[in-house]
Amino acid sequence: MLKDRVALVTGATRGAGRGIAIELGVAGAIVYCTGRSTTQQPSDMNRPETIDETAELIEREGGRAIPVQVDHLDPAQVQKLTTQIEREHGRLDILVNDIWGGDRFIEWNVPVWEYSLENGLRMLRGAIDTHLITSHYALPLMIKNQVGLVVEVTDGTAEYNNDHYRVSLFYDIAKTSVIRMAWSLAQELKSHKCTALALSPGWLRSEQMLDHYGVTEENWRDATQVQPHFIITETPRYVGRAVAHLAADPEVARWNGQSLSSGQLAKVYGFTDLDGSQPDAWRYMVEVQDKGKPADAAGYR
């Protein structure tokens, strides 16, 4: 679907970023995978995943990947990255802002006056500053061709986040700000025939989440014995397929400025998760989990 399109997926080391990078590669795009963790130099995330590994996974499925170590909080490194993309390909068609790295700074259900200010501000920098810095340097390369898609990856849709307190003030601001960022970018990019939108996966079976419950992708359902609502979870490839279908949609401008979810788009474009199902996590959370009903994914995947 995306033969010879050039994509930049930031935060492609693991989780949603990795899933998106792989699916864009499968669809034919040339994928620049950025992050701080490499085989030679891991980051402070204390996780084994690397951008080199992501690139290998893409190439294993027949795609083309270019891993580049970048700290997206450093403007000079981001500028160097975009210069490389322009030199090597002369264009940028897809920008996925998935940088996060904030999990280690989360303090669950702690009010702002008790929250570590250092942790809270660091979380905001990683979730917001990185996206702004990357857009600043990458978008001139996109708009010069008067075509392109920007996907701001977050946690939760605008509809859900507007009515639900998200863990802490800092986390709440981090995730809702990205949605507004996508809307603002949409206004600025409209005249350049580019589209910007916010996209949220559902409950993600990321590498870290699987480790948390002591399961693998092969036996993930065993985690429902501890957390029954885990039955609604999805793989990172599901949101990846959402991005690939958005990027291939000739009428993608219809989504400009909107807040979307993987489950919502699966029903529009007809794609499925790796197991052939179509999890609709945010509808499930509102209609089942938040209402205290017994876990039951029937009708939701």
Q: How does pLDDT run across 11-40, given as a tens digit for each residue?
A: 999 999 999 999 999 999 999 999 998 888
Which residue range is the domain that position 168 belongs to?
6-204+236-274
Across the range 262-289, mean pLDDT stands at 97
Whole-prediction pTM value?
0.96
Which pLDDT score, from 0 to 100, does residue 286 have? Answer: 95
Give the amino acid at 224.
T
Residue 281 lies in a domain: no
d(CA 286, CA 84): 44
Which pLDDT score, from 0 to 100, does residue 42 have? Answer: 80
Residue 229 lies in a domain: no
Residue 279 lies in a domain: no
Question: Going by C-beta distance under 8 Å and a sequence separation of 6 or more, which residues neighbour residue 36?
Answer: 13, 43, 45, 69, 70, 71, 101
Residue 39 lies in a domain: yes
d(CA 1, CA 40): 34
Give the alpha-carbon dihedral of 228, 230, 231, 232, to 10 degrees: 130
Alpha-carbon radius of gyration of the chain = 18
Q: Confidence class of residue 146 from pLDDT cuts 50, 70 and 90?
A: confident
Percent of the chain with pLDDT over 70: 100
Residue 91 lies in a domain: yes
Residue 213 lies in a domain: no
Nearest Cα to Cα of residue 273 among 68, 87, 19, 84: 19
Residue 42 lies in a domain: yes
Residue 103 lies in a domain: yes
Contact present, 120 and 89 (Cβ < 8 Å): no
Which pLDDT score, from 0 to 100, does residue 259 have? Answer: 98
- Structural domains of the chain, count: 1
Alpha-carbon distances, residue 275 vs 110, 117, 279 (angstroms):
37, 42, 10
d(CA 132, CA 250): 26
Report pLDDT digits (tens) over 182-232.
Answer: 999 999 999 999 999 999 999 999 999 999 999 999 999 999 999 999 999
d(CA 242, CA 260): 10
d(CA 244, CA 22): 10
Sign of the dihedral through C-alpha 123, 125, 127, 128: positive
Across the range 162-169, mean pLDDT stands at 92
d(CA 132, CA 137): 9
Q: How far apart are the first and last CA of the chain?
A: 25
d(CA 76, CA 247): 28
One-character DSSP codes across 259-275: EEEHHHHHHHH----TT
Give the alpha-carbon dihedral of 75, 97, 19, 294, to 10 degrees: 130
Q: Which helix (H) or strand (E) holds 7?
A: strand 6-10
CATH code for position 252: 3.40.50.720
